[in-house]
Amino acid sequence: MGMKLFSECESLREKHESFVLVTLVSSRGSAPQDPGAKIVVTKDGLKAGTIGGGKVEAAAIKMAQEILQGSAEKEPELLTWNLQKDIGMSCGGEVTVLFEHHHFSNWPIVIFGAGHVSQALTRLLSKLNCSVTCIDHRAEWIERLEGVKTIVAPEPRKEVSQFPKDAFFLSMTMGHAHDVPILHEIFLTHPDCPYVGVIGSEVKGIKIKRELKELGASEEFLKKLRVPVGLPIGSNDPWEIAISIAAELIQVRDAGK
């Protein structure tokens, strides 16, 4: 794979954007390109590369976009096309084309706070099939993150509205005084979001829920709010806490399927 094509694939993976890698495996007769030629196709069409242009490439792009319409990853598919019968070309011959589907689910996770546990959690989640965004007003903490989208925001609560209603929200800020405005905004903007949690103790949870109730949060939202967040496993080590949170996120995701 050429460096440009490889870079494009890596860029799409980092953005969690699904794509199909199409490879011209073999040809007989009047083929438009040499075996090994590749293209990268997204839902918007050709992203990079060429397998010769013309009708063969157009048919490959159409097939790749049909694959991308599915909600799950498809197994690699090897197709042999007759250039006259299947493609509508006047010249004879045939081509064999490999379609490799690289699927990324639209599972948005939004984390407010880039502290020690968040540093561990984002590194874990970056290996999963999800799209993670971490928001904090502290640029020096945001800069330490790896493999996720980041936002430096003076007022993190103002960022809530840009995320979809099916996002999973986590508040892991410096304390409940920072958490409450964010949680209140989540209630106002996305009260039916599938998951909202806060790192902290049960005592902290009681205080946060009391303050949110005074601000008008519904009983349904308060009942859904998870404080402390994460499954009851492990120690207070940041990595073990992160594992417990990641496990809970997966548990809630799978329960909603």
pTM above 0.85, yes or no: no
37-64 per-position pLDDT tens digit: 999 999 999 999 999 878 899 999 999 9
Residue 73 main-chain phi, psi, to 5 deg: -70, 135
Q: Which fold has domain 108-255?
A: Rossmann fold (3.40.50)
Per residue in 179-213, pLDDT tens? 999 999 999 999 999 999 999 999 999 999 999 99
Question: What digits encode the pLDDT tens for the residues 154-164?
Answer: 999 999 999 99
Residue ranges of the chain assigned to CATH 3.40.50.720: 108-255
